[in-house]
Amino acid sequence: MSFKVIPLDEALNLFEKEFEKVSFEFVNLENANKRVIAEDFYAPFDFPPFSKSTVDGYAVKASDTFGASESNPLYFKIKGKIKIGEYPSYFISSSEVIEIPTGGVLPSGADAAIMIEHTNKIDEDTVEILKSVAPYENIVRIGEDFEKGKLIFEKGYRLKAQDLGVFSAFGIIRIKVYKKPDVSIISTGDEIIHPKEELNLGKVRDMNTYILKALVEDSFANPVILGITKDNLGEILEKLKKALEISNIIIISGGSSVGTRDLTLKAISLLEDSKILFHGLNIKPGKPTIFAKVKGKAVIGLPGHPTSATLVFLELVRPLIRFISGEKNWRKRIKLKTTVLENIHSAVGMKHFIRVKLKGNCAKPIYGKSALIFPMIEADGYFEINEQKEGVLKGEEVEIVLFE
């Protein structure tokens, strides 16, 4: 069967046209880390909801302190003391101050705080002020963090640790997020056996299931292990049908031979409401990749070699998971700039992925047939050489995607 080979960018452009995002659910605040928010979040009220001191000292009206210095102290009446966590019943007038702790609510009439280090308590009722403060000095004003109505998180944003603090601050304990996609993983090939089976020569223990499960976890989706299928059309069809019932994305990592690949392609084609989007990616390694839409779900046939399967996962499946998870910036990725230590050859007309090990600020290519595993173990990440380029030169700057 001939390949319908397309460039990787074109493959990524299919997502928005062909697939829908998962639906939403509500999770408790403490379980929202790394989840994708499913609605815009606006500040429901001014935060902080009251002005407060950021120092231990005295709440003052700033203008009263103007001119105060070590050599010219000013004297104030201590009107009272504010406790942490309490709303003050006090207000202050000119030449009055109130003792205040860090985080204490600023009393009416005050617009600044002065650190205890810049004061001298003379007696229970009197304090000497040794430094002037400006209005709003050493305080946080109402709404200084977030004004009511401000857009804080956009729909499609993946939440980080510190973001959870914002929801807590506003008293939000249930958060509307996109569901995690379920991703089924199938291994195929007559030579593939479960790792616990005895290794008769000629067989190969299943590596892809374990690698792909971990990669799905790293992508914040739910992996579903469906096990190993022999090179048998009926068996493959049955597994695929089961997978379609229980998952949003199906990954079937084919045997490495043309025969197995054709069988996978045939099985996918035979499924009801199936549309092969492409079979062949213009990348190396990873060319024999199948991508189909079946009943609205994504079915991806990955190459059998673990190295190729991993790279296609990172370049195609992970972006797809992120897109289907509702992530707005699903294409965005952090890359590390570095320079290569050797000339590296690549053929024009195909996108090449070169595995590298980082040596200080430089990257050393790790070569090896895609049938080997060790280069993926030894490498820290990889970079791409695009279709237009014929290799890179020693000292050239490249952008590394790091393995997690």
Question: What are the DSSP E strand ranges found in 30-158?
Answer: 41-42, 52-53, 57-60, 74-81, 96-100, 112-115, 119-123, 126-129, 139-140, 151-153
Please select the residue that binds its own copies; options are 156, 286, 301, 306, rule is CB under 8 A.
306
Report in angstroms how near the CB of residue 139 gets to its own copies at its nearest.
Answer: 9
Three-state SS string over 276-310 comes to EEEECECEECCCCCEEEEECCEEEEEECCCHHHHH
Please count the residues of this chain forming the interface with its own copies, following the rule CB under 8 A. Answer: 93
Interface pick for its own copies out of 23, 123, 124, 202 (rule CB under 8 A):
202
- Closest alpha carbon to 156 in 14, 325, 13: 325
- Smallest gap from residue 361 Cβ to its own copies (A): 8
325 binds its own copies (CB under 8 A): no
Beta bridge partner(s), residue 284: 352
Residues 387, 316 contacting (CB under 8 angstroms): no
Angle at 247 between CA 243 and CA 252, to 5 degrees: 50
Distance CA 13, CA 355 (A): 25
217 makes contact with its own copies (CB under 8 A): yes
**Is residue 165 involved in binding its own copies (CB under 8 A)?**
yes
Whole-number minimum distance, CB 23 to its own copies, in Å?
A: 24
Pseudo-torsion of CA 336, 339, 340, 341, nearest 10°? -130
Q: Is there binding between residue 255 and its own copies (CB under 8 A)?
A: yes
Q: How far is the CB of 122 from its own copies (least distance, A)?
A: 21
- Binders of its own copies among residues 265 to 284 (CB under 8 A) are none
Figure out which of the listed residues 96, 99, 206, 327 binds its own copies, where binding follows CB under 8 A: 206
The yes or no reply on residue 67 touching its own copies (CB under 8 A) is no
Tokens encoding 30: 């403490």
Asked if 228 interacts with its own copies (CB under 8 A), we say no
Pick 19 or 210: Cβ nearer its own copies: 210
213 binds its own copies (CB under 8 A): yes
Cross-strand bridge partners of residue 6: 281
> Is 363 near its own copies (CB under 8 A)?
no
Which residue of 5, 14, 27, 172 would you call a contact of its own copies, by CB under 8 A? 172
The interface with its own copies within residues 105-164 (CB under 8 A) comprises: 105, 140, 144-146, 152, 160-164
The verdict on 287 binding its own copies (CB under 8 A) reads no
> Is residue 27 involved in binding its own copies (CB under 8 A)?
no
Residue 103 touching its own copies (CB under 8 A): yes
347 in contact with its own copies (CB under 8 A): no
Angle between helices 258-270 and 233-246 (to 10 degrees): 50
How far apart (Å, rounded) are the C-alpha atoms in residues 205 and 213?
16
DSSP 403: P
